[in-house]
Structure 1
Amino acid sequence: MVRPIVGTGTPETRWQQWPAMRDWPDLPLDPVEPPLVVAPHPDDEILGVAGLMAMLGRADLVAVTDGEASHPHSTVHTPAELAAIRRVETTDALDRLGLSGAPVHRLGHPDGGIDEKALTRALADLLTPGRWCLATWREDGHPDHEAVGRAAAAACASTGARLLEYPIWTWHWAEPDEAAVPWHRARRIALTPAAMAAKVAAIAAFPSQIAPLGPAEADAAILPPHVLARFTRPFEVVFS
């Protein structure tokens, strides 16, 4: 269900005070091959599972879009310029995670116009039975995130791959014990100090998103500090 991503959302302090977060089972880190990590936009994979990627030391990335619509009315950059900037930021982020040699499959779907059927076919071609596929949750609230989640679910169903869904905007619109969220499927990924430091460095590789592009309101940061606080915890969460 697409939801309006407005206001400051649920503060991280409220999530940290929720006892259930401490009780979710740990995710066994036992993939038999590099996981396939699917990002609707450059930085989603970093916010959601960069720590996991750093600890595994291997991953293949599917960059579904180049994120050219992050600032649709920017007074500083054109969409094409933003796409180029975000591709470079992704490369920098992977370097900071120790994954400079990781394969990146750039699909070039329009930001805000993902072809779900074509994406399903592309993912199915990259998946094998049992391979981990990490994608945004199918009900994360953002249309691109949800399209990617549905495509990944369909591709995993057809290939026998294992789907692991990571929430992004869920932390913004949901509340602890939100009935619409499958908390019963939540699994924790405890991050080592080294992985946590690598994740923080990788997030910093996206200045186009975490800092204003310019003084105009249309160039404001997409990921201000109160949003980033949800992604600098010493653990990550996936729905298994």
Structure 2
Amino acid sequence: MMQNPIQLIGRATLGLFGEVGRLAVFAGRVKGAAFTPRWYGGEILRQIVRIGFYSLPVVGLAAVFIGAALALNIYEGGSRYGAEQFVPSIVVLGITRELGVVITGLMLAGRVSAGIAAEIGAMRVTEQIDALETLSASRYRYLYAPRFIAALITLPMLVALADIIGVMGGWLVSVYGLDFDSTVYLRNTLDFLTLNDIFAGLIKAVVFGGVIAIMGCYQGDRSQAGATGVGRAATLSMVGAAVLILAFNYVMSTVFVEIGL
């Protein structure tokens, strides 16, 4: 029997609000464990290496190609109006305020958030988390908080590196492919760049780091038994983190414009 469309919409809406509420409660518990003693320093350092150091190649490659493609397309569009000289300014603005942090966040949503979800999900289905809590150890403090703290620390570092590499990617294409003068290009880049542009991207990076870690831990914690359940948790964490990153990026960009940051 076909269900009433209104019932389907209502059920989906209630399910969405319920999921948002569960995620908010989970995030609150993770943040409470992360910002109050006790901290597991060794585990935090291990997660910093796993999230930050092992992500350097993919972030660097993505940034250099994004910067190069951005410079090429800006030059092509600007040449129609005789505005090729604005390529350095637009590249550095686009990379530092938007593309550097968003691309880094999306790359880590796929690599880190899905990895955390798969790892936590495997621990959940093999009852390792239950065994941990049997020993009176909080999973929020021992498993989730270190990953959350590590993501908050490493994302701004990765974004700063992505900004530099992305700008240099634009410089390479402009100087060696579009016949820009290297000195003039770099001078225009530095003259146009402001601290507000850098801070805007780094503030977003901190938020995105929290989103990536919390989504991975949340979906892993809710993982169901079997390989299918773990795989589904990894997929949901990646998709959820990516959507939230794009949504938060828009909201934060709007706020920054309103306050003049």
* TM-score when normalising by structure 1: 0.24
Q: Judging by fraction of residues, say which structure has more helix.
A: 2
* TM-score when normalising by structure 2: 0.23
Q: Judging by fraction of residues, say which structure has more strand.
A: 1
